[in-house]
Amino acid sequence: MPTSTIDDSTSDGGTSSSYSSTSSNVTTNNDELLRYQSLLSQPTSSNAQGCMPSDADKEELRIAPLVWWDVKSHLDQDPNPANHLQQYAILGNFVSDIHSQQQQPVKPVLLNTNSPWSAFLCGSQGSGKSHTMSTMLENCLLQQEELGKNPNPLAALVLHYDGARGSGVCEAAYLCSRVKTTVLISASNYGNLKRRYEDMARKHGATIKVKRLLISTEHLDTERVKTLMAVTRDGDVPLYIQSLIKIIREIAIERGGVGTFDYQEFKARLEKQLFSERQNQPLRLRIDLLESFLEVERKKASRDSLIGSPGELTIVDLTDPMVDVDAACVLFDTCLSIFLAQTKRCGKIVALDEAHNYLLDGSDAAKQFTGKLLKSIREQRHQGTRVVIATQEPTLDTKLLDLCSIVMVHRCTSPAWFDVLKKHIAGVYLDHDSDHVGESKAARERALFQKIVGLKLGESFLFCPTAAMDVEDNVVGRMLDRFVKFRTRKRCTADGGLTRLAEEKS
């Protein structure tokens, strides 16, 4: 039987060649892996309490919405001034601080007005949420040493609508005692509201500018015209609306999407359409609504009040028996769009006062406006915008609760409200209350609800996961899933939120 032989030289050569090839591949892979390290390097990982080294999260500290005093003091020790807190104002303090530091200065919590954030303020009537909203506006607009450091004041837009048409004015208007304030109101309620606002300002030794809300045609574009004409995307679209959309589309195509919307051309083409009397009636209503708030021809050159200026406040108050909730939302949507797009000289803050009056369930216009708000909050960093929503109803679109970086729960007495809060706020859902460790989740929830019911005027439970709270071993800690009992500071401007008693004259 023949025997097989193995060529040792061939075998050794093959093994050597294979080893050399493998070694070369390993070296190549290692070199490639090293090339990627500069993009994959990570800061020191946080510990269980969320504490991170101050030199590893400077960007996160720079954009933290709320900063505790001890954290600011810690940042001030950095030899690089760029790492200090650049722009801030006091918002309030721990309620417990008042008792624990009776002989020492109370350490404030600072609102970082330099970076964009969003705040959701909820609570029953008279609990202090509008006071907190006005305090935030003061922080963003005023340049006063007793408040903080504000080298770059923001421009503010406040939206207000009172469906009950009470005798009051928007509480934010009381800032006119120290802030240049303009109120824009509907033409059909101009005389009534003008008198109310001017009487309020005079009572506090201040002045306030009251004007009709007129939207310049130079601010119109395809989307804003569709909004003002109350064109919705849902449901069956009537024939006259289809024709209206077709005309808008044709004008946009002819202009290539460039330049302002030609309203006169739009109206001329619309009038050439042959509609039945039944179709003309609702169309006429929409045209009348649009033109009642439209400045077709500007009579003289003047600054547009919807374009914000640093340190100035603009209030759009659409309280009017002739303006329903849907019309208010349509107009607010347009005003917000213009303000955000045209205010370019400074940062912006938008506040919705008593939002439960107009962000109603079942309204297509309210749904569309809420969508615009959500978009503004999602893009707040890119738009340089801060958003504040003050409402008695936390049951508004819950996405607002989900997205807001600050939530302040003032006194409320409704278990239904609490059910909403615990589903959408991590601090309520987890409730790490050291006073009730070991108790069942239901028992802890009842205890927390009792605390919310017992909050005093101006007090709230503050939830802000990214707030910079404390410093331990040279490491800054964030709030994460905790919360604190908080008291909003006193106002610097006149306070219009006091309850009117029977003994007081109107």
Q: What is the mean pLDDT of residues 300-320?
A: 87
**Residue 95 pLDDT more than 50?**
yes
**CA pair distance 199, 192, nearest whole angstrom:** 11
| pTM (predicted TM-score) | 0.86
Please say whether the beta carbons of 137 and 313 come within 8 A: yes
Q: Whole-number mean pLDDT of the chain?
A: 84
Q: pLDDT digits over 33-80, tens only?
A: 888 887 876 655 444 444 444 455 677 888 999 999 999 999 898 888
What confidence score (pLDDT) does residue 437 get? 58
- Coil, helix or strand for 215? strand
What confidence score (pLDDT) does residue 50 get? 46
Q: Select the more confidently predicted residue: 314 or 38.
A: 314
Listed in sequence order, the DSSP H helices in 41-81 are 58-62, 69-76
Q: What is the mean pLDDT of residues 195-204?
A: 96
**CA pair distance 352, 119, nearest whole angstrom:** 10
How far lies 35's CA from each of 31, 41, 247, in Å?
Answer: 6, 11, 56
Q: How far apart are the first and last CA of the chain?
A: 124
Please say whether the beta carbons of 76 and 84 come within 8 A: yes
**Residue 487 pLDDT more than 50?**
yes
The residues, any chain, with a CB within 8 Å of residue 473's CB and separated by 6 or more, are none
How far lies 175's CA from each of 146, 197, 201, 211, 313, in Å?
Answer: 16, 12, 9, 17, 8
How far is C-alpha 420 from the chain's CA centre? 20
**Residue 252 pLDDT more than 80?**
yes
Q: What is the mean pLDDT of residues 81-93?
A: 93
Among 109, 88, 100, residue whose Cα is nearest residue 486: 109
Segment among 144-158, 254-268, 299-313, 431-445 with least mean pLDDT = 431-445
Give the number of other CB atoms < 10 A from CB of residue 229: 18
Q: What is the mean pLDDT of residues 332-349?
A: 93
Q: What is the mean pLDDT of residues 19-42?
A: 77
How far lies 144's CA from each of 137, 180, 319, in Å?
Answer: 13, 15, 32
| Count of residues making up the chain | 506
- Give the residue extent of every domain in the chain: 58-214+299-488, 218-292
Q: What is the mean pLDDT of residues 160-178?
A: 88
CATH class of 58-214+299-488: alpha beta
Amino acid identity of residue 506, one-letter, is S
**CA pair distance 181, 427, nearest whole angstrom:** 37
Amino acid identity of residue 358, one-letter, is Y
Please say whether the beta carbons of 353 and 317 come within 8 A: no
Share of the chain above pLDDT 90, in %: 46
**CA pair distance 335, 332, nearest whole angstrom:** 5
For residue 120, what is the enclosing H or E element? strand 118-122
Q: How confident is the model at residue 235 (pLDDT cuts 50, 70, 90)?
A: low
How far is C-alpha 387 from the chain's CA centre? 2
Segment among 261-270, 347-356, 403-412 with least mean pLDDT = 261-270
